[in-house]
Structure 1
């Protein structure tokens, strides 16, 4: 059995169960992560700028460690390492494709969690 597409255990732990905090983190994630992911995709598909790929993957890893989408942190870590070593563009592309697939699959679950947080705290 595979892991769930979205794992918010760590976010719930650091928030102490505060729905407003979870809502704010998820909102920040959906407002900023897609642009960073688009930038990473452009760098990978249209350039061989391994330094920029490494920096962008490294930046995205922080968010992926909090809002945990299946395999994303590991894929970003691997892209980060491969780009630092300036190697294996094919694996980098394959890992990017996996990230994009899982990210798009997770977005409805993230949005549903935001709705749930709003219902738990009408002050949001």
Structure 2
């Protein structure tokens, strides 16, 4: 469907190669991120600059941990523009694109968990 590039090398380095820890971090991402994304969607719909920036700021490092570097850069741009209270239409467009990727990201991470579990 899309070109989701998940690179867990950073997380692997942080985890010292501990697959159980990596799986746990993926689980946390999968539990927390949908709520953050939903909250960001609401904040954007309400044009609540402060909440947009705060929620984007929370999501940003989790994308880094999951090796979603392109998505992290886009989320950082949303945060920056919200803090500057500018480019609302661009925030909406970038978020819509990101939001459409999250289901594929969740599936890809579930698949990574299976791979990791099989190799432990």
User: TM-score, normalized by length of structure 2?
Assistant: 0.90
Q: Structure 1 residues 112, 59: CA separation in 2 closer, same or farther (over 3 Å shift)? A: same
1:49-96: per-residue Cα shift (whole Å, max 9, x none)?
101111111111121111122521111100000000101111101110
Cα contact 1:70–1:102 (8 A) shared by 2: no
Q: Structure 1 residues 4, 37: CA separation in 2 closer, same or farther (over 3 Å shift)? A: closer
Structure 1 residue ranges without an equivalent (≥5): none
- 1:50 alignment partner in structure 2: 49
- 2:96 alignment partner in structure 1: 97
Taking only aligned residues, the RMSD between alpha carbons, in angstroms, comes to 1.7
User: TM-score, normalized by length of structure 1?
Assistant: 0.87
Judge which range, 110-119 or 28-37, deviates more.
110-119
Q: Distance in 1 between matches of 2:5 and 2:105?
A: 6
- 1:19 alignment partner in structure 2: 19
Structure 2 residue ranges without an equivalent (≥5): none
Count of residue pairs brought into register by the alignment: 119
